[in-house]
Structure formats: C-alpha cells, structure tokens
Structure 1
Amino acid sequence: MFSLSNRDRVLVVDDSPDNLLLIQSILEDEDLDLVTVNNGQKALELVAQQPFHLILLDVMMPHMDGFEITRHIRNDPDIPYIPILLITAHAQPSVALGLDIGADDFIRKPVEIDELIARVRSLLRFKHTVDEKNMIVRQREDFASRLTHDMRTPLIAADRMLNLLLQGALGELSEAMQEVLRTMSRSNANLLEMVNNILEVYRYESERKTFYFSRVDLKTVITNVLGELRPLAQEKQLQLQGELPEVPVWLEGDRLAVHRILVNLVSNAIKFTDQGHVTVKLTPVDQEQVQIQVIDTGSGISPEDQLEIFERFRQGKHYNGGSGLGLHLSKLILEAHQGQISLTSRLQEGSTFTITLPLSQTPAQSEEKKVV
C-alpha cells in the first residue's frame, strides 16, 4: 500500500499568492513538505540546490512561464528526474506542448480538490517507483564491480603460479602434467579476461571510465598489436599481416583504449580462423576520417548473429568461449572517441570488421584527461 512517508518534498510554483494558498490548503492533510515560490527563477535555483519529489507548476507566469521552466529542468543533466504536474487554464494545444517538452501530467483550473490530490499521489507513487528502480540498478552495478574487482586478485595469483610451474620452477614435469597445467592456464586466462571485460563494461556504462586523450599514431599502435599477436597466429599457421601507409596516421584519443580494441578484434579473428590469413588494413578516408579494417578468412558470422554481435553478452553461434563482452566493450570505446564499428561477413568465407575514427586536427600536445 502506498504511503507518503518521510514527508515527500513538493515544490509549488505560481505567481499568484491566492493560488499558492489554495494548493497549500488542499494538500495540508497529505503530510507533505511543501515549498512555495512565486517565480520561475527561484524555482530553478531551489531545484538545483535541493531534492524534490514533485513539482506543481503554473503555466502562465510573467518573465518565465511553466513551459520554459520545464525545458530548463529536463535539459539539465545534473538534475535527477522529478515529476512535473502542470496547472493550466489553457486549451488542449498548450497541454500537448507541455507534455511534449517533458511534463508528466496536467490539471486544469479551476482545480478540483479530489482530482489534485489524486494526481499528486499518483505522481509521487511514480517517483518512488523510479527511485527504487534506480537504486536497485546502482546496487547491482556496485555488486558486479566489487565482485569482479575482488576476483581479479586470486586469478592473477593463479596465473603467475601456473606459469612458474610450467617454467619448471618447482621441478621437472612430465609431458602429461605440462598439458594439464597448460589447460588450466588457458582456462584461468579466459576467466581473467572475462572478469576484466565485465569490470570495464561496468565502468563505461556507469560513466566512471576515465580516458587520457593525446595525439596517437595509429600506424604505431597497429604495428605493436601485430607484433604482440603474431606468435598466436604462428601457432595456428596463419599469416598475420598489416597493410599500412608509409606515413603516420594521427588520432586524438586514448592510446591504451585504442590498443585494446585492436587486440580484441585481431585476437578474435585469429581465434576463429583455422586457415588462411588475418589482415589489418589502415586507410585514410579523407582529411577528417580514417578507416581500420580487420579482415579474416575464418568461419564467418551468420546474418542473424550479425544483428546482435555488438550487444552485451551476445555471442555468435560460432563462438565457443568468452563472455560476449569484447565487441560490446569495443563499441563503447569507439563511441567515446566519436567513432563507429561495423561488420560484413559470410559463413565459411570470413569476416571484416570496419572501424571509422576522426583524424586528429591539432598539432602534438600534452595528455588531456577526459571523463566519459
């Protein structure tokens, strides 16, 4: 059962003292903390400083009307959601305008007591529902963040111990024991990668990720990625090659984040290619954009899987491991860089992931901190 407990704060905005007094008298038995102001500027100052559960807003006021106040509140990202009830004597078109710019409900003058009370209660119920949902989402995200963060420590420790064992630090191992340890090491590495991806996705989606933007040479980044992953390709007898211009190609971005995207795309291409090649192609599109293509001759991705491949926890049917977060994370990073990613693929013929990024238009400069 709904209860107006803990005295919900309601802001009433009207330039008429008589109207303010009328609303106060109607709502006096509702156990509300009523705050009244007689102009829009005072209302906006209060909303920016104090939390409110509901705003009752007269449409017709001098200097700043109810529509303009509504626009200011809805366009300010720092103001959490507050239901707005418009009080109007206008005809239907003005009601439609108010709802279209962000008001939640309206009531006509002269105000009927029972109707006003019912609409206030209804909007307060809605506000409580929204707040409870947001709290649950925050708790879930915080739990995921803490869990994945705490899981990383034992996984990293296990990875180091397994590597020491494989290196013979504790004595010579039989071939059978080495194979078991290699399997354990691969499984541990996959789990560690999944935990890292979950943690990174949480940081990006909760806007807690910090980027360090600087002038980055994409040619150098791609060359480094190819060098790191070439042993993985050689194990599968694949040709890993780059088609790169002779001159540097400059991007304004976070070098480590861009490196992560390319490692993810190239390692995926190697993972799902059994024969042939994986090619990374860097091509300036024009003076403002550059294109990076990761091309493989692997198993390909079906048309239905291509529709969801960049969504979180989505894997194509050809995937036999992983968390389904790598491509989603890559998409988030690219969006933060004003870039895009797309896919073309045919089953049993291979896939091409295409990245488009804006080129740097500024000379070399020191690193700049940017929060997404």
Structure 2
Amino acid sequence: MSKSSNSDKILVVDDSPDNVFLIKTILEEEGYTVSTAENGASALAQIETSACDLVLLDLMMPGIDGYEVTKRIRQNMALPFIPILLITAHDSPNVAQGLDLGADDFIRKPVTVDELLARVRSLLRLKHSIDERDEIARQRQDFVSRLTHDLRTPLVAADRMLLLFQEGALGNLSDQMQEVIEIMARSNSNLLAMVNTLLEVYRFEAGRKTLAFQPVNVSQLLEEVSEELSSLAAQKELAVNLHLGEDSGISKVMGDRLELHRLFTNLIGNAIKFTDTGSVTIRITPATASDEHITVEVADTGPGIPAEEQATLFERFRQGSHKSSGSGLGLYLSRRIVEAHQGTILMNSEVGKGSVFTVRLPIKQ
C-alpha cells in the first residue's frame, strides 16, 4: 500500500468500538489523520468545532442515527462541503434514503481494505476539487471587488474636475469646449454608475453585503426617486405619474433605505431610459390586514420586452436587445435587493405595449 502524502482529516462515526478500531487502523496506515465519535450527537459537535475533510458514518446508531446526522450536516449552511461515506450492514435498510438526504457514497460491512481506501480516495478527490473551485471563485470575486473599488477613485476625481470645468472655476469655456466637457462628464458618470453597480453585485455574491434595516416610508421614497429622475423624463418629454394609494393602508416596510432607493432608482430609471414617448407610471398599493405586503408597480409605454428575453431578464450579464441596453447587471442587482428583503419582483411585458415591473415587499421582517 502506498502511504498518503496529504494531511486529510477523516472523522469515523460508529457506535461499535471494534468497527472504529478497524477503520481507524486502516486509514492511519495510509497516513490520514483520523478522529472518532461513538454517536451522532458527538459527531455533530466535532464537525461544528473542528474541520474535517471526510465523514465515514455508520447508518444504524442509537439516538441520532446516520440519516439524521447526514440531514443536519447538509442543512448547516455555515459548514464547507464535507463528503459523507455511509457505512451500512448487509441487513440494513436501503441506503437510498441516506443518499437522498445528501450522502455521497456508501460501503457495506464488513468492509474490505481495498474498497474502503478506493472510496475514501474518490471522495477526497471530490472534496479537493470543490474546495479548489470555491477558492478560485473567491479569488475572482475578491479581484473584481478590489478592482471596481480602486476604479472608483479616479472616476470620482475625474467627475469633480469635469464639474469644475463646467462651472467655470478654471476659466470661461467656448461653446464647443462646453459641449465636449458635457459629453465627457456624461460618459464618466455612466462609467461610475456601472462600476458602482458591479461593486454592489459582488458584495452580494460574496456575502459581504450588510443591510441596515429600519422603518422606511415607501411612498416618500418613491416621491424622492421620482423627483430625482424628473429631469431625465423632462428631456424626453415623458409624463411621470405617481399614484401613492390610499392613506388608510400601511406604506412602511422594514428595510435598508439606501438599497431600496437603489432598487427603485434602477426600475424607474430603466422605465424612463427605454421609453421614447408616452409616460411612466408608479403605483403603490399599501399593505392591509389581509395582505401584509406593499406592492409597487412601475409601468412604462416603451417598446416592451420580447418573450425570448423575459426568462433570463433578471440574470447577471443578461443584456436586452434594445439599443440603450446597459451592462446587464441592473435588474440582477434589483432582484438580489428584493430577495434580501424577503420580497418578490415580477415582470409583465408585451412587445409594442410597454412593460410593468411589480415589487412586493413584506412590512415585517
């Protein structure tokens, strides 16, 4: 037998001391680091306090059996992926239940050395492959997050310098120069918005986004966002209709005001951006005793969204076919914000008749 050159840690869980001794001896002979547990409760406690790379788990144990241990391991989202190899007697019930609960493989007693080691090596390869994949994903997220964060500094500086030029702080500009500066400022602003969106997306995906929940008046927030975007609508001669619903309903939710502001700025901004003629209508339906959700609809009279694009509209980097389509991150980020508030976002659209985006937010978390 060839000695293992790694330091993989294996937890053997079995209520039979003889079985534990046999398996422990075989694995240690191969160079693995082996710890043991005599019951399910002890195994779960060890897994939560000490990392391991593989669990060899007896199915039939008194108290917490192997099925329950498997179920609890897979339900604990704080744990990294740990392969589970079930150990079962010839006369034990079918192991299909254990596999359905999340186990990765099984071996029958009495175990043979070659089969045991082959299955252990196979599951450890799986563990190492998944760990490597996750590490690459984390490194990619860190790189993009740091890159976008670093990009913001020169973009913000350029934005302020261009503003100084526009305000004449550095001398009077000719009409031609003023026009050029305005184009540069607009392009820089668009790029900064894209970088900010990308940064927020990766914060959500990396689990580094912390929301500050507080009571948020959605009606006031929609008024604020509509006012901020009114100049964009005026440039296109679009009417912005705001219907705030009846005063008798509840128009406050527990949410992160900054993120909800980002959400509705994105939805209303998109409605204005993709609508050339007509109007944009924002309608809020307050929560009631029978429905503890606030519903916000953002409807436009734009070109509508083709059916083939609707299924993937809220996925990352999914750009529409419209000439004004952006990075494909805005609606994806909107969905992440809504989901972080335990809400839902839906879209209904028909080509030539516009689109309606509907957000439902619970008033309680």
Cross-structure match for 1:57: 57
Q: Which amino acid aligns with 1:202?
A: Y
Cross-structure match for 2:251: 249
Q: How does 1:212-227 map to 2 (within 5 A)?
A: 212-227=212-227
Cross-structure match for 1:370: none
Cross-structure match for 1:291: 295
* Cα gap change, 1:3 to 1:332, in 2 (>3 Å): farther
Cross-structure match for 2:309: 305
Q: How does 1:39-188 map to 2 (within 5 A)?
A: 39-91=39-91, 93-188=93-188
Deviates more, 1:16-25 or 1:229-238: 16-25
Rounded Cα–Cα distance in structure 2 between residues aligned with 1:92 and 1:303: 52
Cross-structure match for 1:5: 5
Rounded Cα–Cα distance in structure 1 between residues aligned with 2:212 and 2:229: 25
Cross-structure match for 2:336: 332
Rounded Cα–Cα distance in structure 1 between residues aligned with 2:323 and 2:287: 32
Deviates more, 1:340-349 or 1:225-234: 340-349
Rounded Cα–Cα distance in structure 1 between residues aligned with 2:311 and 2:18: 59
Query: 1:92 Cα shift?
Result: 7.5
TM-score (norm 1): 0.92
Identical counterparts, % of pairs: 56
Cross-structure match for 2:280: 278
Matched residue SS, 1:145: helix
* Cα gap change, 1:96 to 1:76, in 2 (>3 Å): same
Q: Residues 3 and 29 of structure 2 are in contact (CA less than 8 Å); yes or no, is this contact kept in structure 1?
A: no
Matched residue SS, 1:183: helix
Cross-structure match for 1:368: none
Deviations 1:296-331 (A, max 9, x none): 111221111111111111111014342111111111
Q: Which amino acid aligns with 1:41?
A: A
Cross-structure match for 1:365: none
Would you identify which runs of 4 or more consecutive aligned residues in structure 1 move more than 3 Å?
A: 2-6, 90-93
Rounded Cα–Cα distance in structure 2 between residues aligned with 1:148 and 1:39: 49
* Cα gap change, 1:230 to 1:4, in 2 (>3 Å): farther
Deviates more, 1:172-181 or 1:126-135: 172-181
Structure 1, unmatched stretches of 5+, are 362-372
TM-score (norm 2): 0.94
Deviations 1:31-86 (A, max 9, x none): 11111222222222211111111111111222222122212212222221111111
Q: Which amino acid aligns with 1:210?
A: T
Deviates more, 1:216-225 or 1:312-321: 312-321
Q: Which amino acid aligns with 1:198?
A: L
Rounded Cα–Cα distance in structure 2 between residues aligned with 1:241 and 1:324: 27
* Cα gap change, 1:166 to 1:257, in 2 (>3 Å): same
Cross-structure match for 1:320: 324
Structure showing greater relative contact order (alpha-carbon pairs closer than 8 Å, 6 or more residues apart): 1
How many residue pairs get matched? 360
Q: Residues 298 and 351 of structure 1 are in contact (CA less than 8 Å); yes or no, is this contact kept in structure 2?
A: yes
Query: 1:346 Cα shift?
Result: 2.1
Rounded Cα–Cα distance in structure 2 between residues aligned with 1:150 and 1:51: 35
Matched residue SS, 1:212: coil
Cross-structure match for 1:34: 34
* Cα gap change, 1:352 to 1:43, in 2 (>3 Å): same
